[in-house]
Structure 1
Amino acid sequence: MHSESVVQAQHLMMHLLVIFLAGTLGGRLAEKLKLPDVAVFLLIGMALGPAALSMIELPAESVLNQWILIFGACFILFHGGTITSFAVLRKVWGTVTLLATTGVVLTAIIVALAAKWIVGIPFMVALLLGAILASTDPAALVPIFQKFPVRPKVAQTVITESAFTDATGAIMTTVIMGLLMSESQVGALGIVWQFVQLAFGGLLVGIVVGAIAAFLISENDYGLLKEFSPLVIVISVLAAYLLAEQMHASGFMGVFAAGLMLGNARSLRLTVLAKEEHAMHSFMDAIGLKLRMLIFILLGSQVDFAVLRDYGAAAVLIVVVFMVIARPVTVLASLLPDRQAGWAREEVLFFFWTRETGVIAAALIGIVASTGLAEARLLSAIVFVAILATLLVQASTTPWVARKLGLLVSAQGQLDENGGKDGDK
């Protein structure tokens, strides 16, 4: 006879076995069908959840589910930071800054207005939905650009945007959620100050943690942990998030900034051996895949089909506004003012279409759902439709759009099919 705690542990282990087994098979299927794996994971979760086969039943408010969502979001943000280049940031910092600030706010407001008009929810709740959907998804974008080389300036800007908007979108969600949960009224200046405190506090913590991590794995006399780079990554993610949260700053911004510092160690005049750098990225790719499986299969298993049935049509309308109105407006407002970047027409059009929503939105809606917000079920349905639509419709056609716009490049840096030398673009 086992104790109740042992039985519960075995039950959770069985859930993990089912998720990883189904996720591995689903990943192979996605590869064969040339679909984003996260979209397939969502569908697998729906099939394995209580509404179908009942093989996975993990409540959204459970501690394990919350840990998976928070740590998964942190790890993926950290990874996004490590693949963001200071060199690219210097060239397109104006565009990235506008996309991650003005762009996030514009997207949130347009989605909020659409949601308020279509489903009649309070504006602040609708704005919470907009903030959740405002971030793009490095977990979906990075594998696409690895398989289909898009013009370097465009690809790295899109990836950099996804990393920064993940952090700022998460901060905006945190601020709005705090306002909704608080009984006291907060003025405009208070909201701005809270945003600044969350963003810059997290940035400062992340810079310090990332710099220390880079120093410890560098090739110098004090690089005591250079042979333990995977462990340093885990410690850095946990330290950046927890320290920032303890200081009432944004843990999400902290982990992104830490990853940015570690990924650009050479800019800090620190040398990381190629062997250790390879081990670091291999580890992040492997763990990132497992976390994507966990997050998206669990999210799919928690989909409320009754809510989808009741609000599915409205959710589709909101997502259409999100994809064909909010994104182009955001891109035009962010790219056109940046004369230094010199964006070409075909590049702007590519930005219109490259707008995947995924891991961070899934993690944030999972966190919101656990708070007991009255409209949480409705917001979950809309976010699920947005994730599925952007991944199945936009992510799966991104290589085709890039080819049609003449943005695919060969290994030698020449534009594919439609010709023209890529050069510095």
Structure 2
Amino acid sequence: MHSHAVELAQELLTAVLIIFFIGTLGGKLSEKLRIPDVVLYILIGLVLSPSVLDLVDIPAESTINQVILLFGASFILFHGGMITRLSVLREVWVTITMLSTVGVVVTALVVAGAAVLIFGMPFLPALLLGSILASTDPAALVPIFQKFPVRRKVSQTVITESAFTDATGAIMATVVFSLLISAGASVEWGAIGLQFLQLALGGIIVGAIVGWIAAFLISENDRGLLREFTPMVVVITVLAAYLVAERIHASGFMSVFVAGLMIGNAESFKLTILPKQEHAAHEFIDAVALKLRMLIFILLGSQVDFSVLKEYGWQGLLVVLVFVFLARPLTVLSCLLPDRKAKWKKNEVLFLFWTRETGVIAAALVGIVGSSGLEDGKLMSAIAFVAILFTLLLQASTTPFVAKKLGLLEKTESERVH
């Protein structure tokens, strides 16, 4: 006879078993169909959800779900930093700065305008919705660009944008949410500016320090004490970068991205990581990231509230269409055109119009808002999940096709040899 705690643990393990087993089959199918695996994972989640087969029921507000979301997004974002080259970022730093500041505001305002017109929402709740949707999704983007070799300048711009907009989008959502809760109290713009600097700059500093220490410990120098434990160093680095940043009220997501950037570009900081350690790190990350993607996106699919979608779904889709086909192009144009140095080409700009996945960060933010008892919380949840489903199922699945049509797919090493 088991205790209640043991029974709950067994239920959770059963759900994880089902997710891993069916997710593995889904991953294999995605290879055969040559589509991003996250697309099939979210569809699998919909089928396994309490509303359909009722095989997976892990609530969005549960601790285990939040652990999976936070660690999974951090781990995948860390890997995005590792595969990003500083030499590429130097070419497009103006674009990335614009996308993560002006771009977030443009997206939020356009979405807010659509929500006001379509649902008659008050402006502040509508702006909160726009702020929630303003962040792109590293958990979806990084694996797509790993599997499909999109032109490096473009892919690394999008990955870096996702790292920085996670921070700025979260800041904007936090500020607007505070204004709603405070019921129209006076806005202290100086305090908001300081909060932004603390989140963004704090995340960069913490990530740089933690990343440099990790790179030093696995490098070839005499004090590279942990070279033989490279996979564990990776895990410790992800956790330390995220948690230390959050403890000082900085952006944990920006911190883990910068930590990955430091390790991936160790040679730029006079540190050499031997090929053996580098291979071990990438092999370990690839293996763990696959499991985390399964968990994140199958769980996201299983948590879709069909009753709320039924009530608001079609009108929510109108807001999402504005989000995808108006807000994103306006955001890209307003941020890329001023950057003359980057010399963006027409096909690259068109690709950036379309590459705009929404997922983990939006789900986490809307979960916080939904649990706060805010009047329009259910409506925001419905629109956010329509945005997640639309961008993952339609945009993520067609990203490789769009890249190919626009001539942005580069040849792999094996293709170059032949």
Same fold (TM over 0.5): yes
- 1:49 maps to 49
Give the direction of change, closer, same or farther, for the CA distance of 1:260–1:401 in structure 2 (3 Å limit): same
Give the direction of change, closer, same or farther, for the CA distance of 1:10–1:182 in structure 2 (3 Å limit): farther
Give the direction of change, closer, same or farther, for the CA distance of 1:247–1:260 in structure 2 (3 Å limit): same
Of residues 89-98 and 357-366 in structure 1, the stretch that sits farther from structure 2 once superposed is 357-366
Amino acid at match of 1:57: D
- 2:300 maps to 299
Q: Tell me the SS of whatever aligns to 1:227.
A: helix
Amino acid at match of 2:366: I
- 1:187 maps to 188
- 2:30 maps to 30
Query: Could you tell me how far apart the structure 1 residues matched to 2:35 and 2:163 are?
Result: 22
Query: Could you tell me how far apart the structure 1 residues matched to 2:11 and 2:148 are?
Result: 41
TM-aligned CA deviation for residue 90 of structure 1: 0.7
Give the direction of change, closer, same or farther, for the CA distance of 1:413–1:167 in structure 2 (3 Å limit): farther
TM-aligned CA deviation for residue 180 of structure 1: 4.1
TM-aligned CA deviation for residue 155 of structure 1: 2.4
- 1:138 maps to 138
Of residues 144-153 and 94-103 in structure 1, the stretch that sits farther from structure 2 once superposed is 144-153
TM-aligned CA deviation for residue 414 of structure 1: 11
Contact 1:355 1:390 in 2 (8 A): yes
Contiguous gaps of at least 5 residues in structure 2: none
Contiguous gaps of at least 5 residues in structure 1: 416-425
Query: Could you tell me how far apart the structure 1 residues matched to 2:304 and 2:325 are?
Result: 25
Query: Could you tell me how far apart the structure 2 residues matched to 1:211 and 1:175 are?
Result: 32
Once the two structures are superposed, what CA deviation does each residue of 1:270-304 show, in whole Å capped at 9, x if it has no partner? 11111111111122222222112112211221211
Contact 1:167 1:256 in 2 (8 A): no
Of residues 42-51 and 214-223 in structure 1, the stretch that sits farther from structure 2 once superposed is 42-51
Give the TM-score normalised by structure 1.
0.91
- 2:223 maps to 222
Give the direction of change, closer, same or farther, for the CA distance of 1:273–1:372 in structure 2 (3 Å limit): farther
- 1:375 maps to 376
TM-aligned CA deviation for residue 181 of structure 1: 4.5
Once the two structures are superposed, what CA deviation does each residue of 1:111-145 show, in whole Å capped at 9, x if it has no partner? 12212222233333322322222222333333333
- 1:388 maps to 389
Q: Tell me the SS of whatever aligns to 1:228.
A: helix
Amino acid at match of 1:97: T
Contact 2:73 2:139 in 1 (8 A): no
Query: Could you tell me how far apart the structure 2 residues matched to 1:284 and 1:262 are?
Result: 13
Query: Could you tell me how far apart the structure 2 residues matched to 1:175 and 1:284 are?
Result: 34
TM-aligned CA deviation for residue 400 of structure 1: 2.6
Of residues 246-255 and 94-103 in structure 1, the stretch that sits farther from structure 2 once superposed is 246-255
Percent of paired sites with the same residue = 66
Query: Could you tell me how far apart the structure 2 residues matched to 1:370 and 1:380 are?
Result: 10
Give the direction of change, closer, same or farther, for the CA distance of 1:203–1:55 in structure 2 (3 Å limit): same
- 2:96 maps to 96
- 1:419 maps to none
TM-aligned CA deviation for residue 14 of structure 1: 1.0
TM-aligned CA deviation for residue 73 of structure 1: 2.0
- 1:362 maps to 363
- 1:15 maps to 15
Contact 1:163 1:256 in 2 (8 A): yes
TM-aligned CA deviation for residue 396 of structure 1: 2.2
- 2:254 maps to 253
Amino acid at match of 2:257: F
TM-aligned CA deviation for residue 88 of structure 1: 0.6
Contact 2:148 2:400 in 1 (8 A): yes
Amino acid at match of 1:271: T
Query: Could you tell me how far apart the structure 1 residues matched to 2:382 and 2:196 are?
Result: 27
Amino acid at match of 1:245: E
- 2:82 maps to 82
TM-aligned CA deviation for residue 99 of structure 1: 1.0
Amino acid at match of 1:61: E
Amino acid at match of 2:395: Q
* 1:279-290 map, 5 Å: 279-290=280-291
Query: Could you tell me how far apart the structure 2 residues matched to 1:217 and 1:178 are?
Result: 43
Contact 2:76 2:142 in 1 (8 A): no
Query: Could you tell me how far apart the structure 2 residues matched to 1:12 and 1:113 are?
Result: 42
Of residues 157-166 and 309-318 in structure 1, the stretch that sits farther from structure 2 once superposed is 157-166
Query: Could you tell me how far apart the structure 2 residues matched to 1:108 and 1:338 are?
Result: 22
Once the two structures are superposed, what CA deviation does each residue of 1:303-340 show, in whole Å capped at 9, x if it has no partner? 11111011011111011001110111111111110111
TM-aligned CA deviation for residue 182 of structure 1: 5.1
Contact 1:60 1:369 in 2 (8 A): no
Of residues 153-162 and 18-27 in structure 1, the stretch that sits farther from structure 2 once superposed is 153-162
Give the direction of change, closer, same or farther, for the CA distance of 1:69–1:34 in structure 2 (3 Å limit): same
Of residues 145-154 and 75-84 in structure 1, the stretch that sits farther from structure 2 once superposed is 145-154
Query: Could you tell me how far apart the structure 2 residues matched to 1:243 and 1:329 are?
Result: 36
Amino acid at match of 2:327: A
- 1:421 maps to none
Task: Count matched residues.
Answer: 415
- 2:150 maps to 150
Query: Could you tell me how far apart the structure 1 residues matched to 2:254 and 2:413 are?
Result: 35
Give the TM-score normalised by structure 2.
0.92
Q: Tell me the SS of whatever aligns to 1:60.
A: coil
Query: Could you tell me how far apart the structure 1 residues matched to 2:159 and 2:235 are?
Result: 22
- 1:404 maps to 405
Contact 2:39 2:397 in 1 (8 A): no
